[in-house]
Chains A and B, each alone.
Chain A
Amino acid sequence: MFPTFVLNIAAAMNNFIAARSQMALSLGFHIVFSCIGMVMPFFMAVAHFYWLKTRNPVYRNITKAWSKGVAIFFATGAVSGTVLSFELGLLWPNFMKHAGPIFGMPFSLEGTAFFIEAIALGFFLYGWERFNPWFHWFTGLVVGISGIVSGILVVAANSWMNSPAGFDYVNGQYLNIDPMKAMFNNAWFQQALHMSIAAFAATGFAVAGVHALMIVRRKNPKFHYTAFRIAIVFAAVAAILQPLSGDISAKNVARRQPAKLAAMEAHFKTEKFAPLIIGGIPDTATRTVNYAIKLPGMLSLMTWDDFSAEVKGLDQVPKQDQPPVAITHYAFQVMVALGMLMAALSLTYFIALIWKRKWFGKSWFLKLFVLATPVGFIAVEAGWTVTEVGRQPWIIQGVMRTADAVTPMPGIAYSFYLFTAVYFSLSLIVVFLLYRQIKMVPVMYDVGS
């Protein structure tokens, strides 16, 4: 059964679908490593700071242990990012031909950010006991800052695809190009803010979860407890801010991409007092959502700050311009549900910190965080699915269709299989290496702690 199933997929996978799948795969892979690359340097800077201030070796050990793990993630992030800059052309040459000169500004600035990041990383990883300790600390911080800057810049490029600006589209020609206007389009701020916070929340929960697991298993509790505390503070603050930033994003989407908003909410009919639809199974044929919770007026309120405001539904969008409703809706539900869950966990953490110190010794409390390890990254992937699938069928909203951008070369399906195999094996190896790093913590860092 299995082989015929695979063969059927192979036959069904035309070039266009294969190209989209390969792009999604590569981006979905890269985003994990880039989140870690953006955020871990800050965690390390905190641990490193305490080491320099207190000379308590636990902090040095944490910094060193993290930096070894991070080196693996950095290398993987760097190569997968390099692949992406070629893939944009390999898969979407017609898009890049027109879009490159318009949305290229953030990419050209990003080159500098990447370079500084790579240089600072060289100093940081190889600079122990070589430089003035505070210079060494500073290089670590620079890695984080340039990581965030490069994240913001790429997201600005992506937001241009959602909210094209900085050119006039006249008879199929792209005229009056202004790269600065393209970079500072209507969506860049909302998306960059939401993405940066998401990176902290996702990485923070993942790191905290791994260390919580080790505490539960009573392996080097002092080491892991200190590490847990650093990670969870970042994660909790970010996770509480995340729904606020998400609300800003949703309002922005309603204005720039009403079709995407309608798909996210499975909102088929244009109406006043539009309900917020939670969960449910959207049925495009009958234009209804079954088994959903509906909160009357809430969608109008959330998007336009007014219960009675009219919210455009999918009925206002020509059939051929509608995004896939089910995927977008489910992905949005997953993101929001996980976001609420993380915010709740974060509040629990602060309650424990302020009033219920004894919870920290309880295994149920730590196990909550163990269970939450993958949650942030699942939300990140879901959020990107909302953004990207919700933009379909456009690659540049309202200007160019994804189907018109794809490469004319046949046989992309094979390339997709190959890259899937490569990324799958890489993921396995990275997990395996991380497992070994954690296993070796007692051997390598057990001095006095």
Chain B
Amino acid sequence: MLYVVITYLWLALLLYLLLGGADFGAGIIELFTTEPNRPQTRRISYQAIGPVWEANHMWLIIAIVILFVGFPGIYSTMSIHLHIPLAIMLLGIIARGTAFAFRSYDAVHDNMQKVYNRIFVYSSFVTPLFLGIIAGSAVSGRIDTHTDNYLSAYIFSWLNTFSVAIGLFTVSLCGFIAAIYLIGEAKSDDERRRFVRKARQMNIGAVISGALVFIFAAADHIPLADWVFGNPVGITAVILAAVSLVILWLMIRRGRARTLRLLAGFQITMILLTVTYKHYPNIVILKNGYLSLLTDRGDDKTIQALGLALLIGSIFILPALVYLVYSFQKRDVQEP
């Protein structure tokens, strides 16, 4: 059952990165769209994410519940030492979720829309940035559980070049997923071209921030290169991701939306696989030790119950979710 639970944790993270990521990305793209084109982008992304946005964010809750029920030591250590970035991420989640709902459901359309839009786009950027920072900090080896010094215990645990670079990388990935996703929603060649251009910019952003991640990792003596290239699974995943990226760019102008989305999703999956595979089961790397999924976990009975709850839950959730996505894919969503 432990492995069932760990698999669910990994899947929840992946799905949050993909679906929640596309959701954040829509806001990021709006942020980087010039003023005249914004309303159009907004309309398209609204149609794409309106009915599903709440469901997309449930994956984060699932992941966090798995952590605090199944792996309480990991949850509490991260909560203590990454308190500040977690709190900022939460403020981002509050701002973004409410701004999105307010702008869709405000009965009067006036200048308030501008306020909602601004809050929405900035929080769409800040939230994944801090999610990335948190993920980076978890593996950066900077979390020091033995110090009383405020700065090293609560600030430098996350405020370092490596973590910030991972944050930027996450932002670019979200933007990329969203751009590829929205290509399929474009109603005209003009719109399609614009999203292709956005996808290219985001891809370049990912390459640059990805390079920064490696540089800062090397400077900080984080064996990232070894995690990624030091084992056959990592190398294979990287090669597959690269090949699929090339295919994606070859077919971006005419390819079917579904194929493009699958390719982009595949790349993200491979990236997550590479970075988690090598140092599994030690998902949190501290300054002086590890937190391991296999040993820092709840009792057997708890894991048993958690695994069962997840399995039973999936029987209800997955068909309903698939039907939701399917129902709203081909048809226009009107403003409710």
Contact = CB atoms under 8 A, between A and B. Distances in A.
B298 A177 contact: yes
A255 interface: no
Main secondary structure of the interface of A (DSSP, over half): helix
Interface in B67-89: 68-70, 72-73, 75-80, 83, 86-87
B97 A75 contact: yes
A20 B75 CA distance: 20
A25 interface: no
Interface residues of B, number: 64
A357 interface: no
A4 interface: no
Contacts of B76: 89, 93-94, 96-97, 100
Contacts of A410: 150
A115 B40 CA distance: 30
Given A71-B101, A90-B86, A97-B76, A111 B58 contact: yes
A90 B83 contact: yes
A119 B55 contact: yes
Contacts of A429: 98, 102
A86 B336 CA distance: 31
B55 A115 contact: yes
Contacts of B302: 101-102, 104, 177, 179
A126 B328 contact: yes
Interface string A283-315: 000000000000000000000000000000000
A122 B80 contact: no
B219 interface: no
Contact of A75 (B90, B100, B106): B100
A105 interface: yes
Contacts of A218: none
Interface string B272-314: 0000000000000000000000000011011001100110110
A118 B97 contact: no
Nearest to A91: B79
B29 to A, nearest CB: 21
Interface in B305-336: 305-306, 309-310, 312-313, 316-317, 320-321, 324, 327-328, 331, 333, 336
A298 B254 CA distance: 81
Contacts of B313: 108-109, 111-112, 115
B293 to A, nearest CB: 14
Contact of A83 (B80, B90, B306, B317): B90
A278 B302 CA distance: 44
Given A93-B79, A415-B87, A71 B336 contact: yes
Nearest to B308: A108
B331 A130 contact: yes
B93 A82 contact: yes
Contact of A114 (B58, B79, B333): B58
A409 B72 contact: no
B250 interface: no
Contacts of B64: 85-86
Contacts of A409: 80, 83, 153-154
A443 B207 CA distance: 51
B27 to A, nearest CB: 15
Contacts of A97: 72-73, 75-76
Nearest to A99: B72
A119 to B, nearest CB: 5
A271 interface: no
Contacts of A408: 80
Contact of A72 (B65, B101, B309): B101
Contacts of B94: 79-80, 83, 422, 426
A86 B86 contact: yes
B1 interface: no
A46 interface: no
Interface string B249-267: 0000000000000000000
Closest 5 CB pairs of A and B: A104-B69, A101-B298, A75-B101, A89-B79, A112-B313
Given A109-B309, A426-B94, 13 more contacts: A79-B98, A83-B94, A93-B80, A104-B65, A104-B69, A105-B305, A108-B309, A120-B320, A123-B324, A179-B301, A407-B79, A439-B108, A440-B107
7 contacts: A68-B336, A93-B76, A101-B298, A118-B55, A123-B327, A131-B327, A179-B305
